[in-house]
Chains A and B, each alone.
Chain A
Amino acid sequence: MTTVESRALEHKLSRSPGKVGMMVFASALLVGVIYTILALARDLSSVSTNSVFPYLLLGVALLTALGFEFVNGFHDTANAVATVIYTHSMEPHVAVVWSGIWNFIGVLLSSGAVAFAIITLLPVELILQVGSGAGFSMVFALLLAAIIWNIGTWYLGLPASSSHTMVGSIIGVGIANQLMSTQTNTSGVDWDQALNVGKSLLVSPLTGFIIAATLLLICKTVIKDQRLYEAPAGNEPPPFWIRALLVLTCTGVSFAHGSNDGQKGMGLIMLILVGTVPTAYALNHAVTPAETADFLAVSAQTAQVVSKHVTGSTTLDVPRDELTDYIRTREFTQNTMRALHEDITEIGNEVKEFKLLKNVPADRMGNLRNDMYIVSETLRLVQKSSHSEFTADEKQVLANYKRHIDLATKFIPTWVKIAVALALGLGTMIGWKRIVITVGEKIGKDHLTYGQGAAAEITAMTTIMTADGLGLPVSTTHVLSSGIAGTMAANRTGLQMGTVRNLLLAWVLTLPAAMMLSGFLFWTLRKFF
């Protein structure tokens, strides 16, 4: 790269702060909103109801879910832009628009794995009755609790974890559901899942701190350019290659954040859609005749595999209840095997009868979806179970069947992705200053050097992308904030202990606070719904 080219890029990055990007995003926003409305109207045209209530509920719930993504956007912008701003790698208004656009792209290209991983944490009976008062109370309590806590921590300029907030909200609803229920067979919290997420969220900050510190020390040993380890002089940008690296990592973190955090809202929006307008969204209408034929063949093969493990000849009244019990208690019995076989056969028969999922009558759609969801969850747990009776080959057949069945229920319409992408992208561009200041000025005692910014941001990007690939919800915030703290420690520049203390307090309090908030909201909403 010649000096002239380098200057040209510099000029492009610094001219007319964000105006071009803002115009591009405004156009995308307009097109996206029109597309979303048209797609929703098309989907709802097949729904026949005389009441306006479901539509009203759908509208409020969708706005709340998109509001959650919007708040998540401005709460987490700092993770991507703080280092490029404070190293003068990008002009701040360019950086936030750039980050917003890459969040948008990240959401659009996301896998959906995290979206459905989040749903599996919810009480199973509430998922099966998501259209009931309890189901809506759950969704609203989750979203409102997360929004309230995120806005509260943002107001105080504290980069707390949105992932922690969401998990805490889910646990709170689970506990409240269990405490409020008069029945003994309600599920509270999927502690295994919650523990896995908790471990991942605990490991992220440690990883961020250690890796970023190590990376900086390695850089200092290998790269002898002293400019990298000194505070920027005036408004000078860093050397071209380090600037390019910082812009690249800002892009990567924004993309990863979009593809990870965007999915949380998507999963909840799908629950809302299934609850309000099951006819349109309970089953994936886009499944083709060829895929259906394939599913029927796989279904017959799976039923045969499971039947080998069924003993006795009694027939169960409601096989789904048996599987629900298994999901709740994790106790696999002979009745579970029988129920699994009966449900797989029943699902196969129903699909065979209607030939295509979109042909399933409205009054049977919810039931079929629930059967499919329960069977899928049972298979997920059976595959994880160490004392499974199935051989390795049989497990492969079950996994293949699960993939097919998930195609019918675990889908995300394109308009949902676009709506979430717009909400998250727009949020990223608004209200970002508070937390950017904390991350950029209040963690370390000295000004962030180019090398520190690069080390922290590279660590954040690689950690998040690795976790995204594994389908684990990871806290971008913890990784980046602790990454910066790690580089400050490695540099021996010292930490502002007041901020560090507040950060740690917020991180520790996020889970219990979100739990209490959502539990209280669930309890309150159940009085009305």
Chain B
Amino acid sequence: MEKSELDQLRDSYKQAVEEWIQAIRAEESLATADHTVPAVDAWEHAGFTEEEARAKAKQARQDYEDALRKLNFNF
């Protein structure tokens, strides 16, 4: 495993985590004093986006972790 590949995986992971953080903040910001159905719908949709971002971050973490295992334990 080349160091550049490892760096790329780490960057992807960091970027995915950043997107996840943004998604959490976006979801949180939609929890307002507006308790109408359209507002709740928008908040819930932001929740789905957050779930997708979380899955992407977890996958990126897994890829990075697998690469580190390959580097350190050779499997």
Contact = CB atoms under 8 A, between A and B. Distances in A.
Interface of A: 17, 85-86, 88, 91-93, 235, 433, 436-437
A86 B74 contact: no
Contacts of A86: 73
Q: Is the interface of A mostly helix, strand, loop or mixed?
A: helix
A17 B75 CA distance: 10
Nearest to B71: A235
Contact of A17 (B69, B72, B74): B74
Contacts of B74: 17, 91-93
B72 A85 contact: no
15 contacts: A17-B74, A85-B73, A85-B75, A86-B73, A88-B73, A91-B74, A92-B73, A92-B74, A92-B75, A93-B74, A93-B75, A235-B72, A433-B75, A436-B75, A437-B69
Interface of B: 69, 72-75
Given A85-B73, A85-B75, 4 more contacts: A17-B74, A91-B74, A235-B72, A433-B75
Contacts, number: 15
The 4 closest A-B pairs by CB, nearest first: A92-B75, A92-B74, A85-B73, A91-B74
Q: Is the interface of B mostly helix, strand, loop or mixed?
A: helix
A93 B74 CA distance: 8
A435 B75 CA distance: 13
B63 to A, nearest CB: 14
Contacts of B75: 85, 92-93, 433, 436
Nearest to A17: B74
Contacts of B69: 437
B21 to A, nearest CB: 22
Contacts of A88: 73
B64 to A, nearest CB: 14
Nearest to B69: A437
A345 to B, nearest CB: 62
B39 to A, nearest CB: 34
A161 to B, nearest CB: 24
A93 B75 CA distance: 8
B34 to A, nearest CB: 36
A85 B73 CA distance: 7
B59 to A, nearest CB: 16
